[in-house]
Amino acid sequence: MIALAENRYGKSRVRLVQVKRRGDRNDFREWTVEILFTGDFASCFVEGDNRNILPTDTMKNTVYSLARESSQTCLEEFGQELADFFLDHNPQLSSTQVSISEKSWEHLLVEGKPHPTTFVQSSSELQTSETSRARDGASSVWSGLDNLVIMKTAGSEFAGFLKDSLTTLPEAADRLLGTALRARWKYSTMDVSFRTLRKSIRQILLGVFAEHISKSVQHTLYAMGEVVLQQIPEVDEIELNMPNRHCLLVDLSRFGQDNPNEIFVPVDEPHGYIEARIRRQD
């Protein structure tokens, strides 16, 4: 017997720029939204019956329409508002998931002061959120960040690792440690200041990365997640992904020069891939 198993559908990469005009000062946001529906869609897949299918183009239009009326200014709150709207207007849904990423735009500094209506994209870092709502009342909010590129030039080593006949990597007591951090964390309650906690968690992650005496990427990754859970009680668990962006020491001896850990070549591929989820234990 053949039967439809898990399925969902939705709209991805709905791009939205919003300008909030506040007198002589503007706020600028750039979001990318993904909506996924789970529900009573078997007849569409199996029989070609579309009566329970809300067009994905309508999902896109809903993002723009709701953004026009919404007073929410952070990813998590707008994600909850959008998820609730879809559940309220679509009885065929059992749950919906809304994921949003935000590019980092800041007011341009002119003569040391933020210009009120001109902006600069400060980095490739993205702020992220994922809101899941179910008709039975179950809900969750994950916040996060992606592609936060960071580098430390001291306080990192890698030694004492397993070696076999194919190992060529030398041990390093002082190496560069660079990564493009991706992090996401789950809140234990919805009654929080998402914007404030996001800022605090980002500061913790960066502070631990900078100060931790690293024996490996794994060692530092765990320390970063551990401190977030120790200091932020509203977070239940955190996922961290830290690709090891290698910088290889250049051998200058053939040119009659030394290289006291100063000249490197960055290597994007291949790179190490390290990830873990750290959670509270009852």
Domains and CATH numbers, the chain: 9-137 (3.10.270.10), 148-279 (3.10.270.10)
Give pLDDT, residue 39.
95
Give pLDDT, residue 23.
87
Give pLDDT, residue 12.
97
Q: What is the DSSP letter of 91?
A: T
Assign 77 to helix, strand or coil: helix
Active site annotation includes 11 = yes
Which one of the listed residues 11, 60, 186, 212 is annotated catalytic?
Answer: 11
Give pLDDT, residue 18.
95
Active site annotation includes 163 = no
Quote the CA–CA distance of 231 and 223 in Å, as a whole number.
Answer: 12
* Residue of 265, 268, 233, 232 lying closest to 250 (CA atoms): 265
Quote the CA–CA distance of 214 and 209 in Å, as a whole number.
Answer: 9
Active site annotation includes 56 = yes
Q: What is the mean pLDDT of each run of 10 residues along the chain (282 residues)?
A: 94 96 92 97 94 96 96 93 97 97 95 95 93 94 97 95 94 94 96 95 97 96 98 97 93 95 91 96 82
Give pLDDT, residue 237.
97
Handedness of CA 112, 116, 122, 125 (dihedral sign): positive
Which one of the listed residues 107, 186, 212, 246 is annotated catalytic?
Answer: 246
The answer to whether 209 and 152 have CB atoms below 8 angstroms apart is yes
* Residue of 84, 92, 89, 10 lying closest to 43 (CA atoms): 92
Which one of the listed residues 32, 56, 58, 153 is annotated catalytic?
Answer: 56
Quote the CA–CA distance of 139 and 191 in Å, as a whole number.
Answer: 12
Give pLDDT, residue 76.
96
